[in-house]
Amino acid sequence: MKETHSTRKKEFIELLSPHRDSLYRFCMHVIWDKNSAEDVLQEAILHAYKNFDNFQPGTNFKAWLFRFVINKIFDCNKRLKKDLQHVIPCQEWDIIEHLEKEEAYASILENPSVFFEKVDDRIKDALLSLTSTERMVFLLKSVEGFTYKEIAQFLEIPIGTVMSHLFRSRGKLGELLAGYARKMGFVRPTP
C-alpha cells in the first residue's frame, strides 16, 4: 500500500515537474497578487494530485492540470467566469487597419527584438491593462499554446468567444506597445 502511494506520487511529480513554471506564470499573470496566486496554485496542484487516479495516461497532462488551476481561479474570482461569457463587440479589422497606420507600431514591426529589449518590464504592465478574461485567453493561447477548442472547454465558452477575446487582447496589446514606442521615441525614421 505504502509502495503504491510512493509510486503514484513519484509518477505525479514526474509529470508535474516540466509544467511547474507554466503553471506558476499563468497564476501570477492572471491573479497578480503573489500570495493569492501561490495559494491558488498549491490548492490546484494538491486537488489534481487527489484526483490523479482519474487522469488517463496518454492524454494531455498539461491540459488536465490547467483545468484544476482554472477552476481554482474561478473559485477565487466568481465574477471572472461571468465576464468570460460577455464579449464587447468590436470591428476586428478596424483594429488591424488602425495599427497598420500607426507609425509607432510600424516601428515595432520593423525591429521587434530591439524594441522588446528596451521595454522589458513594461510588457507586464501592458498585460495588466487587459481585462482578466482577455489576459486569461491570451495567456492560454499565445503563451501556453492551447488550442481554441481546449480553451473553450476550460472556460466553458464557445470557440467564437475565445477568438473574439483573443483578437481583442492582441489588438489592445498592440496599441499599448505602440504607446510605449511613442513615449520612448522608438519611431522609425521617415524615409
Partner 1 sequence: MRCQDYRKYLSPYLDSELDARTCADIAEHLSVCLACSRFFAQEQEVERQLVKSFQKEKMPEESWRTVLGRINAYDSPRPRRFRLAWLVPAVVVPTAVMVVMLIFLLGKAPDNTNSLAEALQDRHGKYLSKEISIGPGLTWPQGFEGLTVIKHLPQSGLMGAHEVRLIGSQSCYIKDIECAHVMYSCCNTPVSLFILRKEDMSGLKSAQRLLDKGKGSAVVNLGNTRLVMKDLREVVVCCISSHDTGELLTAFERL
* Contact positions vs partner 1 (CB under 8 A): 5-6, 9, 12-13, 20-21, 23-25, 28-29, 38, 41-42, 45-46, 49-50, 92-93, 96-97, 100, 108-110, 112-113, 115-116, 120, 123-124, 127, 139, 141-143, 147-148, 163, 166-167, 170, 173-174, 177
Give the residue with the Cβ less far from partner 1, 4 or 190: 4
Nearer to partner 1, 85 or 114 (CB): 114
Strands (DSSP E) found in the chain: none
Write the Ramachandran bin of 146: left for phi over 0, alpha for psi from -120 to 50, otherwise beta: beta
Quote the cell numbers at residue 161: 468567444
Closest by alpha carbon to 172, among 96, 106, 118?
96
Q: What is the closest distance, in whole angstroms, from the C-beta atom of residue 156 to partner 1 in the complex?
A: 19
Q: Is 141 helix (H, G, I), strand (E, B) or coil?
A: helix
| Pick 84 or 177: Cβ nearer partner 1 | 177
Pick 79 or 125: Cβ nearer partner 1: 125
DSSP for 178-190 reads HHHHHHHT--PPP
